Amino acid sequence: MRLILLDPPGAGKGTQAKRIAEKFNIVHISTGDILREELKKNSELGKKAGEYMQKGELVPDDLIIEMIKNIISNKENISNNEKSISEKSKKNAQNGFLMDGFPRTLNQAKKFDEMLESLGLSIDKVINIEVKKEELVKRLSSRRVCHSCNNICSLNDKKNIDEIKLGKCPVCGGELFQRKDDSEDVIMQRLEVYENQTKPLINYYKQKNLLVDIDGMGSEDEITERILSSL
Ligand code: AP5
């Protein structure tokens, strides 16, 4: 199974990707997570990407395409993206993957098609989770992420609110942090970048008959059910 999650920032790509990748035992490839790891390592790629990420802009296509090429052709050990890949699904990306946050421009999408074609591979489905803008802003500004296990949680999660308010991960007890690009001005910039550069991909994949629209309003479990029943 080869899938792409194509939705605006905050629609729940990371949250749903983990569940779907585990369900189908495929590799979860999150370009955002990989870039944040590179940033932490202070690598050349991390330094270059960080400049764009902190402003809410897209990292230049050539850097991203090279990174994906290495992962898909297995030149690069996918453990770079370790935190988003469960142990059991850590395996050859060519056997199946779920792309989270890639492609994000028409150029990336076309280059990705060429890459897959040269390997004799193709995409099965592109999942487009639809969420209203006000809800996206609310979700992003309330998001907290665990330093230790990378769990994504929310100040809107009533069940675990006491722990989350104390900055404690409800899954592992690790320390929670707020992503730097989840400040209000950067959120607005990311949403604008999505409208101008990523939204056109909806039509690109619709024309290829690969697009599945999912209503993204509802609980995390409800959205997972909708995605699974569309596959
Ligand atoms: P990236 O990390 O991909 O960020 P993003 O696309 O902005 O998406 P997010 O991770 O913010 O949101 P999400 O959809 O995963 O939502 P989540 O599940 O966390 O990219 C970051 C940056 O890296 C980019 O800005 C760019 O600079 C660079 N970059 C990455 N890929 C690139 C590429 N291909 N090309 C160029 N540059 C690239 O959920 C959000 C919150 O909502 C959480 O708190 C969660 O608990 C909550 N939530 C989830 N589902 C629900 C629900 N159903 N109801 C209520 N709350 C929910």
Give the closest residue to 82 by CA, choosing from 73, 91, 69, 74. 91
* Cβ 101 under 6 angstroms from ligand 1: yes
**Looking at residue 92, what is its pLDDT?**
65
**pLDDT at residue 207 is higher than 50:** yes
On average, the pLDDT of the chain sits at 91
**pLDDT at residue 40 is higher than 50:** yes
Annotated catalytic residue 2: no
Contact 49, 38 (CB under 8 A): yes
Q: How many CA atoms lie within 13 A of 65 on its CB side?
A: 15
Mean pLDDT (whole number) for 160-165: 94
**pLDDT at residue 95 is higher than 80:** no
Ligand 1, atom 51, residue with closest C-alpha: 220
Annotated catalytic residue 190: yes
- Measured in degrees and rounded to the nearest 5, phi and psi for residue 29 equal -110, 105
**pLDDT at residue 71 is higher than 60:** yes
* DSSP annotation of 168: B
User: What burial class does residue 183 get, using C-beta atoms within 10 Å of its C-beta: 0-12 exposed, 13-18 middle, 19+ buried?
Assistant: middle
**Looking at residue 5, what is its pLDDT?**
97
* Cβ 27 under 6 angstroms from ligand 1: no
Sheet with 211-215, edge to edge strand ranges = 27-30, 97-100, 2-5, 125-130, 211-215
**pLDDT at residue 89 is higher than 60:** no
* Cβ 109 under 6 angstroms from ligand 1: no
Strand partners, 144: 153
Beta-sheet strands, E only, within 141-205: 143-146, 152-154, 176-177
Ligand 1, atom 19, residue with closest C-alpha: 14
